[in-house]
């Protein structure tokens, strides 16, 4: 299946207008960047709706959009679990219980919170792992973007890579975090408006939602050889009683604990890339409302990116539609290209440019997000802590760290380019590294959670808990493998997906393996931290922990606020809406 598009000057005009605005925002914001605080923390001055949209936009990178649409075709509405059970409860938890301490402690980053709450070594470990992980992630998405531009637009790989890096560097260097956040908001709207025509046209083509259900009721039993029921692709919880009756291969409790609790809490509540958006808000209240405001559009994103994937599955099985995905070397369809092929199927010149721009935009804002999180952690948690500590001259310091922040931005982009080339040479190794680094989130959640809600937990315990949880995750990954990594004889075909020590257990799909890796890592880390905390002396006094631990921090007074500004009220509305959506698509 041909993947290249023939774009006209109309499509390119749209693309160019968008990038002029992207760089223009950076240029306009440049004059406000007079201190490290303005550059790295956006001066803590943004309204909640801006940080709220940026909060979900950071996560709506192109890899996410392409991956989720592909999952829509592979697993159907089950993919919505990543939103309604995977993201929403974690976002509410972050807003209600954790944000008061992240924001109120005056920490400038998640690693710095660890330093204030625990000790230097816990911060150091987390800061270094985080810095490496963000560069890796940014490099991988840069690589994916260049591949996409090569395959879809027919551009040269190297030029695409350098051009996108230059644009990202341009606006993050000029306007820092504010520029990254403003562009994330812009990107959010362009994605919604750019992909919306696809949903409308796709649904119209298959006869609306009921038409889609009708078509699937013959297609699904047919392609699965009767394994899956007719409505599996349009339901979420209905077939999760047994792992074998849904394409994800996970039972409801695996989804509930693995995805709904460990993976998502680890990601949404501790990943500085995400939390940084809320920390840039203008007040503690705005910071708490950030994830809640973000949660409302978040829960409707499945209709924008998963539903097109389901439509694609139907199109693939109606020969007259002439729709197919490109195949890889093993003659399997490349599901990540679902959204691209849909753009090609439905959009004429004009809106096509808009759709492609939306994808490019989401790639770049993903990179910018990583770079702007990296430069903050580098400047505050590595450079200021270990290389040049703050002096008494606050003003000179701010200027100095602004310079360092700017250099870190350049360094971050260059390192990402290097990572992108490594990914192009050793793709498997990069995937493996990313899997490994994703294992730091689950133990981190256990450690931060205990830190916030149990004043007895200690630094030595937290450090060991982080390391221990990480090692358990590695061990679990090394001892298990997903079924698709094995050949007919049960031998391992790749080391990347696990089983590199020995195969003790085989999971039906990779996702199930990921869930259980996270569950093991989080529980091990929590257990180690609790036991060691009780065995080690408490070093920080109760006074030092005010603002950092729940029991020792006075509650915020929120009387007199209108209901739509109260975090508890917003949280209730968000949870109610997510519940209604889950029931509608049960």
Partner 1 sequence: MIDIKIPIGLMFTVLGIFLTIVGVSTNSDVELYKKSLEININLWSGVIMLVFGILMLVFSKKKIN
Residue ranges that bind partner 1, judged by CB under 8 A = 10, 13-14, 17-18, 21, 24-25, 28-29, 32, 43, 45-46, 50, 178, 182, 185-186, 189, 193, 196-197, 201, 204-205, 345-351, 354
Closest Cα to residue 63, out of 432, 359, 426? 359
Distances (CA, A) of 211 to 61, 101, 205, 281: 30, 49, 9, 44
Q: What is the smallest separation between the CB atom of 351 and partner 1, expressed in angstroms?
A: 5
Cα 427–430–432 angle (5° rounding)?
A: 110
The CB-of-49 to partner 1 minimum distance in angstroms stands at 9
**CA–CA separation, 246 and 324 (whole Å):** 23
- Which of 189, 426 has the CB closer to partner 1? 189
CB closer to partner 1 out of 125 and 343: 343
Min. distance of Cβ 33 from partner 1 in angstroms?
A: 10
Minimum CB distance to partner 1 smaller for 235 or for 276: 276
Strand partners, 505: 480
Coil, strand, or helix at residue 486?
strand
* DSSP H helix total and E strand total for the chain: 24, 2
For the bound state, the minimum distance from the C-beta of residue 294 to partner 1, rounded and expressed in Å, comes to: 15
- The residues, any chain, with a CB within 8 Å of residue 13's CB and separated by 6 or more, are 353
Nearest one of 335, 305, 373 to 138, comparing CA atoms: 373
Nearer to partner 1, 171 or 363 (CB): 171
Residue closer to partner 1 by CB (options 42, 220) is 42
Minimum distance of partner 1 from residue 41's CB (angstroms) = 13
Q: Which is nearer to partner 1, 10 or 530 (CB)?
A: 10
Q: Exposed, middle or buried: residue 575 (CB in 10 Å: 0-12, 13-18, 19+)?
A: middle
- Measured from the CB atom, the residue of 5 and 118 that comes closer to partner 1 is 5
| Shorter beta-carbon distance to partner 1: residue 255 or 312 | 312
Sign of CA dihedral 140, 141, 143, 148: positive
The minimum distance between CB 297 and partner 1, in angstroms, equals 14
Pick 72 or 197: Cβ nearer partner 1: 197
31/555 with CB nearer partner 1: 31
Q: Which is nearer to partner 1, 200 or 327 (CB)?
A: 200
Residue 29 or 133 with smaller CB distance to partner 1: 29
Q: Is 481 helix (H, G, I), strand (E, B) or coil?
A: strand
CB nearer to partner 1: pick between 32 and 453: 32
Shortest approach of partner 1 to residue 28 CB, angstroms? 6
- 224-235 burial, b for 16+ CB within 10 Å, e for fewer? eeeebbeebbbb
User: 186 and 442 in contact (C-beta within 8 Å)?
Assistant: no
DSSP letters spanning 3-69: ------HHHHHHHHHHHHHHHHHHHHHGGG--SHHHHHHGGG-B-HHHHHHHHHHHH--HHHHHHHH
Residues whose CB is less than 8 angstroms from the CB of residue 214 and which lie 6 or more positions away in sequence, other chains included? 207
Which residue, 85 or 347, is less far from partner 1 as judged by CB?
A: 347
CB of 9 to partner 1, least distance (A): 11
Three-class secondary structure of residue 507 per DSSP: strand
User: Can you name the residues that pair with 327 across neighbouring β-strands?
Assistant: 333
How near is the Cβ of 20 to partner 1 at its closest, in Å? 9
Between the alpha carbon of residue 548 and those of residues 226, 289, 527, the distances in Å are: 54, 19, 21
Minimum gap (Å) between residue 267 Cβ and partner 1:
26
Quote the CA–CA distance of 540 and 457 in Å, as a whole number.
Answer: 10
Angle, nearest 10°, between helix axes 351-376 and 272-279? 90
C-beta closer to partner 1: residue 65 or 347? 347
Q: Name the 3-class secondary structure at 287.
A: helix
Instruction: Report, in Å, the least distance between residue 18 CB and partner 1.
Output: 7
> CB 27 → partner 1: shortest distance, Å?
11
C-alpha dist (Å) from residue 551 to 91, 122, 446, 507: 22, 22, 18, 41
Q: What is each CA distance from 126 to 82, 110, 152, 408, in whole angstroms?
A: 25, 9, 38, 18
Q: Considering the complex, what minimum distance in angstroms separates the CB of residue 155 from partner 1?
A: 22
Give the residue carrying structure tokens 């890889």. Answer: 328
The owner of tokens 């092929």 is 341
Q: What is the nearest approach in angstroms of partner 1 to the Cβ of residue 349?
A: 7
Alpha helix locations (H) across 149-271? 157-206, 208-223, 252-253, 264-270
Q: Closest distance between partner 1 and the C-beta of residue 352, in Å?
A: 9
Q: What is the DSSP letter of 525?
A: H
């Amino acid at each position: 299946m041909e993947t290249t598009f023939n774009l006209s000057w109309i499509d390119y005009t749209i693309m160019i207008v968008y990038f002029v605005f992207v760089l223009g925002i950076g240029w306009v914001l440049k004059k406000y960047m007079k201190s490290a605080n303005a550059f790295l923390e956006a001066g803590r001055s943004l309204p909640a709706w801006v940080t709220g949209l940026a909060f979900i936009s950071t996560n709506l990178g192109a890899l996410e959009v392409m991956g989720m649409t592909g999952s829509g075709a592979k697993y159907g509405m089950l993919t919505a679990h990543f939103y309604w059970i995977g993201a929403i409860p974690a976002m509410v938890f972050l807003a209600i219980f954790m944000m008061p301490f992240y924001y109120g402690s005056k920490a400038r980053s998640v690693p710095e919170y660890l330093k204030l709450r625990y000790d230097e070594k816990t911060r150091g470990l987390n800061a270094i792992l985080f810095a490496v992980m963000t560069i890796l992630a940014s490099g991988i998405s840069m690589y994916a973007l260049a591949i996409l531009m090569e395959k879809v637009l027919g551009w040269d790989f190297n030029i695409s890579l350098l051009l996108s890096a230059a644009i990202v560097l341009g606006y993050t260097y000029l306007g820092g975090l504010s520029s990254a956040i403003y562009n994330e908001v812009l990107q959010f709207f362009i994605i919604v408006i750019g992909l919306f025509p696809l949903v409308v046209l796709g649904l119209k083509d298959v006869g609306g939602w009921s038409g889609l259900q009708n078509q699937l009721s013959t297609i699904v039993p047919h392609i699965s050889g009767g394994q899956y029921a007719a409505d599996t692709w349009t339901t979420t919880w209905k077939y999760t009683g047994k792992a074998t009756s849904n394409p994800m291969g996970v039972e409801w409790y695996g989804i509930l604990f693995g995805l709904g609790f460990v993976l998502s809490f680890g990601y949404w509540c501790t990943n500085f890339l995400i939390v940084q958006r809320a920390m840039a808000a203008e007040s503690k209240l705005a910071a708490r409302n950030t994830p809640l405001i973000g949660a409302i559009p978040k829960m409707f994103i499945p209709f924008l990116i998963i539903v097109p994937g389901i439509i694609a599955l139907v199109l693939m099985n109606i020969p007259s539609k002439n729709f197919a995905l490109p195949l890889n070397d093993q003659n399997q369809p490349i599901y990540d290209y679902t959204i691209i092929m849909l753009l090609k199927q439905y959009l004429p010149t004009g809106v096509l440019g808009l759709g492609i721009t939306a994808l490019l935009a989401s790639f770049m804002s993903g990179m910018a997000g990583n770079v702007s999180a990296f430069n903050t952690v580098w400047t505050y948690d590595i450079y200021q802590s270990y290389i040049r500590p703050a002096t008494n001259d606050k003003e000179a310091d701010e200027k100095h760290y602004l310079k360092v922040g700017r250099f870190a931005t350049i360094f971050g982009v260059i390192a990402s380019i290097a990572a992108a080339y490594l990914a192009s040479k050793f793709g498997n190794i990069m995937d493996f590294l990313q899997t490994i680094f994703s294992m730091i989130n689950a133990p981190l959640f256990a450690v931060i959670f205990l830190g916030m809600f149990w004043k007895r937990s200690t630094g030595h315990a937290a450090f060991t808990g982080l390391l221990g949880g990480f090692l358990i995750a590695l061990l679990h990954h090394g001892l298990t493998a997903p079924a698709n990594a094995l050949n007919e004889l049960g031998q391992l075909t790749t080391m990347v997906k696990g089983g590199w020590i020995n195969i003790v257990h085989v999971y039906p799909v990779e996702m199930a393996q990921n869930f259980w890796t996270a569950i093991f890592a989080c529980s091990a880390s929590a257990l180690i931290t609790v036991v060691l905390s009780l065995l080690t002396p408490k070093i920080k006094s109760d006074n030092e922990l005010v603002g950092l631990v729940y029991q020792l921090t006075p509650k915020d007074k929120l009387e007199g606020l209108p209901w739509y500004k109260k975090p508890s009220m917003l949280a209730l509305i968000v949870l109610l809406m997510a519940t209604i959506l889950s029931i509608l698509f049960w």
